[in-house]
A = this chain, B = another copy of it.
Amino acid sequence: MPRSRPYPRDGAGPEPGQASALTGASLNGQASAAGSPLGLHRVLEPAGVLPQAAWRLDAKAAIWPDEVRVAVTRLNLDAASFRQLREAHNGNPDKIRASVLEIIRTRGKMQNPVTGSGGMLTGTVAEVGPESSLGLAVGDKIATLVSLSLTPLVITDGLVGWDGKSEQVPCEGHAILFGRSIAAKLPDDLPAELALSVMDVCGAPALTHRVVAGCQARSSQAPGPVVAIIGAAGKSGSLSAAAARQAGAARIIGVVPHEAEAQLLRDAEGAAAGQPGLIDEIVIADARNPVVVSRAIEGAGGPADVTVVCVDVPGCEGGAILATAYGGTVIFFSMATSFTAAALGAEGVAADVTMLVGNGYVPGHAQLALDLIRAQPAVRGVFQRRLDEHGSANHSAPNHGAPNHGE
């Protein structure tokens, strides 16, 4: 695998010629006659805030000249959000379904009021405003890569097709894309469900790639950096591992919470025998215990130059910080990350580490992630196993599913 692939380019804009697959938008935040590209005209309350911060959006079907209306076929709820709903309703599918419907009805968007997070959706483009710059055409099958937490949404089928047991929600309704949104056409060569779950977490591998490549560039004396992935058997974790490898990581340590997750990783690697390995050493440790997880990573070749947090459970900040070398970087992708715990945690142990808020948007992120899935059978194996799990009633790893980030 070429290590020098200049992708995604550090600090650069959207890749030229990419608009056909990953449609970008104007980066000008100013309102135009077409309405605000940021969707400010859809905010009902409180007035003047961005759609993500709004309590309630106007989700009516009629579009502004720069908007796109999508006929929704499926919601993919953010993992932290679905987990909260499941726990709040003791796993009762009817109550979970009613709760989701009520949120969408009252807020005009699927933003969990407790977690603040949303998810993503797939659908078919139903109408394109004359001033839209998203490059979409009626009939295109797409996934939105901006969060449901800011996407105007109406559900019309009462979610009758959803069993309430997983974050995959088949449904009917419509959603609105603003002038400055991000949507990706679903690729022809991959199953839609697989592509969707890949694009859902595509911010994580893209930022991991950028950070690891940056380490490489700074210290030209090989070998490359040591990378620890906390939650390596999850979706964003396995993709981030693949991205780290492509970007030049010398050693990749994968942390998983128990043997079943370790076995899932081994199975995926075994099924891809002969291919480059995804993880160099798998360690089993509770990521919420800073002392345990940092010692485990140290024992596996750490401390890490780059630590990537991909588990959606609270309390993983301290372990990630302690496991990271002086001068290293921690990337927090988990939506369960506490800003305060990270800031005070690093200070409390006098750790000079760079801590990044995992931005779900990096130019070219969907394409990078889809290419990793195509190139690395082990990652595809992890995703297939995760999708199969969701199809069954038995969630073997409820606490360590991949965070639905990049959402």
Chain A interface residues (CB < 8 Å from chain B): 10-13, 24-25, 27, 29-30, 38, 40, 48-53, 115-118, 145-147, 149-150, 180-182, 203, 289-292, 294-295, 315, 318, 322, 326-327, 332, 335, 337-363, 405-406
Task: Give the shortest distance, in Å, between A147 (CB) and chain B (any CB).
Answer: 5
* Contact present for A347 and B50 (CB under 8 Å): no
* Contact present for B50 and A290 (CB under 8 Å): yes
Chain A interface, DSSP helix/strand/loop, else mixed: loop
When distances are taken between beta carbons in the complex, the residues of chain B under 8 Å from A335 are: 339-340, 343
* A-B pairs with beta carbons under 8 Å apart, 14 shown: A29-B349, A30-B295, A50-B318, A53-B345, A147-B347, A149-B348, A181-B350, A335-B339, A335-B343, A342-B357, A343-B358, A347-B361, A351-B361, A357-B357
Task: Give the shortest distance, in Å, between A159 (CB) and chain B (any CB).
Answer: 23
* Contact present for B338 and A359 (CB under 8 Å): no
* Contact present for A349 and B291 (CB under 8 Å): no
When distances are taken between beta carbons in the complex, the residues of chain B under 8 Å from A49 are: 289-290, 318
The residue from B11, B38, B322, B344 contacting A116, defined by CB atoms under 8 A apart:
B344
* Contact present for A345 and B50 (CB under 8 Å): yes
Which residue in chain B gives the minimum CB-CB distance to A218?
B11
When distances are taken between beta carbons in the complex, the residues of chain B under 8 Å from A150 are: 344, 348
The residue from B40, B294, B342, B352 contacting A29, defined by CB atoms under 8 A apart:
B294
* Contact present for B24 and A326 (CB under 8 Å): no
* Contact present for B348 and A147 (CB under 8 Å): yes
- Give Cα distance in the complex from A48 to B347, angstroms: 19
* Contact present for B344 and A357 (CB under 8 Å): no
Task: Give the shortest distance, in Å, between A342 (CB) and chain B (any CB).
Answer: 5
Evaluate whether A52 and B341 lie within 8 angstroms (CB atoms) in the complex, with A27-B326, A291-B40, A350-B25 already known.
yes
* Contact present for A361 and B352 (CB under 8 Å): yes
Task: Give the shortest distance, in Å, between A108 (CB) and chain B (any CB).
Answer: 15
- Give Cα distance in the complex from A359 to B29, angstroms: 30
- Give Cα distance in the complex from A53 to B291, angstroms: 12
* Contact present for B359 and A24 (CB under 8 Å): no
When distances are taken between beta carbons in the complex, the residues of chain B under 8 Å from A362 are: 352
- Give Cα distance in the complex from A126 to B149, angstroms: 53
Evaluate whether A341 and B294 lie within 8 angstroms (CB atoms) in the complex, with A351-B361, A357-B356 already known.
no
Task: Give the shortest distance, in Å, between A196 (CB) and chain B (any CB).
Answer: 17
* Contact present for A344 and B13 (CB under 8 Å): no
- Give Cα distance in the complex from A11 to B218, angstroms: 11
- Give Cα distance in the complex from A406 to B29, angstroms: 33
Which residue in chain B gives the minimum CB-CB distance to A290?
B50
